[in-house]
Amino acid sequence: MNVIFCIPYAGGAASAYGELKTIAEKRNLRLVPLELAGHSSRLAEAPYRDFSEAVEDCYRMIADYLPRNYVENYAVFGHSMGSWIAYELVEKLKKDPTVDAPERLFLSANTIPQTEVDRKTEQYTDDEFWNWIYELGGMEKELYEIAEFKDYILPIIRNDYRILENYAGEKVPVRDLAADIYMMGGRQDHISQEEFMKWSQFTSQKFEFEWFDGNHFYFRKEPNRVVDYFCQKMQTES
């Protein structure tokens, strides 16, 4: 069985990939969404203190999964924040002699991690931050207007952005991930193709870029096409 481990975006839960997972199962492809500590089903656990804790946690989940399950080939899909976690995660997997490193990475909807953060979101008030998140397109208006939901999710998202922004910048080393990189983006997102193409510097292997219709959360608008893309790259290309 071919497997893709899916790392969520800031504030995101493993369940965000539920529709993709269901579609993929019909195509003989298994998606394994990773639940981050302090999120959704792991809400009772302490949130990450820094970015390295998030990377270590995802590494542990994958390293535990692989020996216990039949996996022919596996890849990692990291959306938004998840793409930066994937960038660091590959280094840990490459250094682990008990598992094979992924040969394919699907990286999505983010600039390279060496991007300097001009204005950190910690400078936003809660209302400013909440409005900004809504404008990214990841939330239905009905949820945006529910005060209880805001009280629940806002601290989670704010912590994710805090660790992201403290990690990013020129101090992040440039590495050869030694894997095929398939970069994915939404046409209506705020990230340009030029910014996406900068990811090509991180591999000596194949690099491709693919547009999808939609905003930052394009996979909700085109789930079937996203799964088609996964299947094509996992099953027909070596």
Distance CA 69, CA 64 (A): 9
For the chain, how many residues are written? 238
Checking if the pLDDT of 238 tops 60, the result is no
- Among 6, 39, 5, 60, which Cα is nearest to 219's? 6
53-99 pLDDT tens trace: 999 999 999 999 999 999 999 999 999 999 999 999 999 999 999 99
Look at residue 112 and tell me whether its pLDDT is greater than 60.
yes
- The set of long-range contacts for 39-43, using a CB threshold of 8 Å and a minimum separation of 24, is 39/8, 39/11, 39/12, 39/13, 39/14, 39/156, 40/13, 40/14, 40/15, 41/13, 41/14
pLDDT bin (cut points 50, 70, 90) of residue 41 is very high
Q: Look up the pTM and report it.
A: 0.94
* Stretch 137-159: mean pLDDT: 90
Interval 111-125 mean pLDDT: 90
d(CA 220, CA 213): 10
Return the axis-axis angle of helices 147-167 and 51-68, rounded to nearest 10°: 100
